[in-house]
Amino acid sequence: MIRIERRLTQPRWLAVAVPLGSLVVAFGVMALVLLVTRHAPGHTFSRLIDTGFGSKAALNETFISATPLLFTGLCAAVAFRMQLFNIGGEGQLYAGAIVGAAAGIVVGNHTGWLSVPAMIVAGAAGGAALALVPATLRAFFSTNEIITSLMLNYVAALVINYLIFDSESYWRDTSSPTAKVFPQGKNLPDAASWPVTHTVGLYLPFGLLFGVVLAAGIWLLYSRTRFGFEVQVIGDSPRAATYAGMRTRRKILAVMAISGAIAGIGGASQDGDFRHTLDPRGLTAAGYGYAGIVIAALARYNPFAVCLIAFVLGGLQNAGFALQGVDFPSGLVGVMQGVILFCVLGGEMLTRYRVRLSRATRASEAAA
Amino acid sequence: MAAAVELRDITKRFPGVVANDGVHFEAAEGEVHALLGENGAGKSTLSNILTGLYRPDGGEILLWGKPVSFASPRDALEAGIGMVHQHFRLVPPFTVAENVILGDHRGEGKKFMVHPRRIERRVAELGERYRIAVDPRARIWQLSIGEQQRVEILKALYREARILILDEPTAVLTPQEAESLFETLRVMAEEGRTIIFISHKLHEVKAVSDRVTVLRDGRTIDTVSTADATPRSLAALMVGREVSLATRVERAMELGEPVLEVRSLWAHGDRGGDALRGIDLTLRAGEILAIAGVAGNGQRELAETITGMRPATRGEVVLGGRRLRGGDARAAIQAGVAHVPEDRLHTGVAPSLSISSNVVLKSYRGGSVTRGPMLRLRAIRKHAVDLIHRYDVRGGGPELPARQLSGGNLQKVVLAREFEGSPRVLVVASPTRGLDVAAIETVHRYLRQAAEGYVGVLLISEDLDEILALADRVAVMYEGAIVGERDAHTATAEELGLLMAGASA
């Protein structure tokens, strides 16, 4: 008989062995899928690795894909740590992109040097403001934040589309007749382009570096400060927090605001690092916010692990774009990405539970 | 005559522990057989094996001389084994009759269409015969805890259980209710049923059972005839050494000034409604004032309101002459109110966090463990190591998650933290529930020490033995009000029991 039981303790080696084992299984399953669809697994895998991580050019592309995922992953991880399920990273990213773009246009045209910090602050403020809506409802009316934050994603998507496609807003380019027919956002002034760090043939976007620093800051905040201590206690047992005299409501507001602010900076980074305009179509098609939830879960809410996993998923996404073509349908790319996620999440279960054959039980336990 | 139940050499292992290690047990027809042991002695594991919830790793189960093997609880039910759990398995919005047939796969319960009348009649009959009458049409949520327990027993009788297991059935009853339960059990035994009565209360075992089997560390220590045993001899078997049973130790000291005054305090319960209806109390420095009462009469709400976890709707709490801000636990902590809550695992500590984190659960806001907004992790760890040593916390170091401590050691961590805050008032709720005899001794010693240090101790407990052993005064709570107050030196369990049942003083 096969039984699944909860592990009382989690040995350290499992934390390394299980993810590696999961990847091996994932590649095994993908090989089967590829064989069935008459593609050469070896060739496909080597292309996958090459186009994701194999060259400097591939890495540069991966950095670009990983940057927004890093922000949305941190956004989700920060809130999940306190058992606040902020599903609104997507909308908070749009809000950050909207406010960040406005700041870039205003400040970039006047005091150029201020535009990067101004965009970061504005993006953070936009994301935080949107996140405070579900936070307030949760803190004062016990409304489920999963639903409210999720619904606000649709609101934010409609707003960002409205600003460019359905109105003559401040963000919309109305300078030429073509732009009136084919709506698009105003180009940000050059001063509002975020700097790129160039070393050993690698181009590191400013947003990526900022995100890594942010991850370190979050780690410090959560593991070394009184604030982080309260977050840990509230996340583990809200009753114990009340008992210890902690102000749970304030903490809900603060953590959701931080979470939203991080996604908002991700949105501003999209404007400043890559798109140089408010780009509703590109942002709403990408689904960065939802990918961030998966990343946070895979990283077990650890900010450093979020960095790593955002990088890996960014690479896979790139490789996906590179692989698809006439001989390789895009659906198959999706299948491969899905298989990897499925195996890694499934493997996660093995670190918390163990599967045993009950025949083997007696012998192994008698020895123990 | 073959025994109704016989367990031979039952072994059950869990990762890291052997819960039952070659246990022998047998109970005859028509017998009330007590199963006695400390927490963790293996009583619950054994009853779970007998009711088919666990499968033993080794050993045999015989019913009326025939070996049986249960693949699931349903097999055990069909073999005639019924169980009354400590936490009832009832569906609150359903009626008594509906609960009785729930999950019953014979007779009425199996039919697609249910005939409530027939079931109701049968339930009423059973209730009358065994003196546990409950209105079959009442909904469970309308019933008192004592009545709910009757429904559980009726459920077992309806299914014609020949063997009935009761897990600590008196924990939720007044002494009078317990006495009437014992009568019911005796009637059932006279009819030839076998009653297995799990308990760690010695005087109950003495009062109700014919024989006692004592378990310790997963092993059968002995089976003795109750008539030949004394509470002292049973306690020695249970613990493995001579113990001093909770006996009164007088503290020769003058009481100090009033430290805590509660004035006509009202508060809502979790589901609305008034849980507290005008409580008045005065507690003096160095005094142990006990609040007695059957669980669910507002004791938890009283502790929470005094300690600021729950806002008062009317009235006030005055500490050392100063009025406490209602519903503000931080203000109460800072004014010197320490609290050992009833639910120590989910309220008293953050269970997944380390012992280190939990010892600074209330003191992380300032003092020697912080520097500005930062925590001094090394100082916190040192503090935890110090407390672990001084309060003799066993089971792991400062990094161990609190949930992995045993009940007694967890309680030591909570007590250590609360005492370290040099409180003026200590509110303790059911401080020894679920602890073994040795841990109970320790907790009682700490509470006496606190009182000797002129802390005012408010002891909320359902255990009258504990109250009579520790307290100076006893106030009895019933339906959110204090219905009587007695000097603990002269009060008797009978007298308090009547008050707990709501009989006016």
pLDDT (average), residues B454-480: 91
- What is the tally of structural domains in chain A? 2
Pairing label, strands B322-323, B314-319: antiparallel
Tell me, yes or no, whether A187 lies in a domain: yes
Of the two residues A310 and B44, the one the predictor is more confident about is A310
Looking at the fold, whether A227 and A334 belong to one and the same domain comes out as no
A290 at interface of B, judged by CB pairs closer than 8 A: no
Token representation of residue B128? 């009358």
Q: Report if residue A46 sits inside a domain.
A: no
How many Å lie between the alpha carbon of B311 and the closest alpha carbon of chain A? 12
Q: Are residues A319 and A332 in the same domain?
A: no
Of B332, B350, B374, nearest to A240 by CB-CB distance is B350
pLDDT at B109 over 80: no
Q: Which residues of B touch A (CB under 8 A)?
A: 13, 15-16, 57, 307-309, 328-334, 339, 341, 343, 346-353, 357, 360-362, 364-365, 370, 373-375, 377, 404
Kindly state whether residue A57 falls inside one of the protein's structural domains: no
CA dist B80 and B75 (Å) reads: 9
Q: Is A367 inside a domain boundary? A: yes
For residues A244 and A360, membership in a common domain is answered with no
B308: chain A residues, CB-CB within 8 Å: 245
A252 shares its domain with A353: no
b or e along B413-437 (b: 16 or more beta carbons within 10 Å of the residue's beta carbon)?
bbbbbbbbeebbbbbbbbbbbbbbb
Is the domain of A119 the same as that of A262? Answer: yes
Q: What residues of chain A lie within 8 A of the CB of B365, using their CB? A: 226
Three-state SS string over B137-196 comes to: CCEHHHCCHHHHHHHHHHHHHHCCCCEEEEECHHHHCCHHHHHHHHHHHHHHHHCCCEEE
Q: Which residue has the higher pLDDT, B173 or A310?
A: A310
Domain extent listing, chain B: 5-239, 246-336+423-505, 354-421
A205 and A156 fall within a common domain: yes
A303 and A368 together in one domain = no
Same-domain status, A317 and A337 = no
Q: Which CATH code is given to the segment(s) B5-239?
A: 3.40.50.300
- Give a yes or no: residue A52 inside a domain: no
Nearest residue of chain A to residue B55 (CA atoms): A358
CA distance B18 to chain A (A): 10
Determine, for residues A224 and B374 on separate chains, whether the beta-carbon distance falls below 8 Å: yes
**Full-model pTM:** 0.79
Domains B5-239 and B246-336+423-505 share a fold: yes
Contact list in A for residue B330 (CB cut-off 8 A) is 245-247
Interface subset of A 42-101, CB within 8 angstroms of B:
none
**Residue range A254-291, pLDDT digits in tens:** 999 999 999 999 999 999 999 999 999 999 998 899 99
Q: In this structure, is residue A56 part of a structural domain? A: no
CA distances, B100 to each of A162, B115, B137, B155 (Å): 60, 13, 11, 5
Residue A363's pLDDT is: 35
State the average pLDDT over residues B197-225. 88
Same domain membership, residue A368 and residue A287: no
pLDDT, tens digit, 9 for 90 and up, residues B275-333: 999 999 999 999 999 999 887 789 999 999 999 999 999 999 999 889 998 889 999 99
Average pLDDT over residues A209-225: 97
ipTM of the complex: 0.83
Instruction: Report residue B105's pLDDT band, with 50, 70 and 90 as the boundaries.
Output: low
In angstroms, rounded to a whole number, what is the distance separating the alpha carbons of residues A153 and A93? 9
Query: Domain check: are A22 and A125 in the same one?
Result: no
Same domain, A200 and A224: yes
CA closest to B303 among chain A residues: A243
Closest residue by Cα to residue A347 from A25, A3, A8: A25
Q: Which domain holds residue A215?
A: 66-323
Contact B348 A243 (CB under 8 A): yes
Q: Do A245 and B341 touch (CB under 8 A)?
A: no
Across the interface, of B57, B331, B360, the residue whose CB is closest to A362 is B57
CATH number of the structural domain B246-336+423-505: 3.40.50.300
pLDDT at B424 over 60: yes
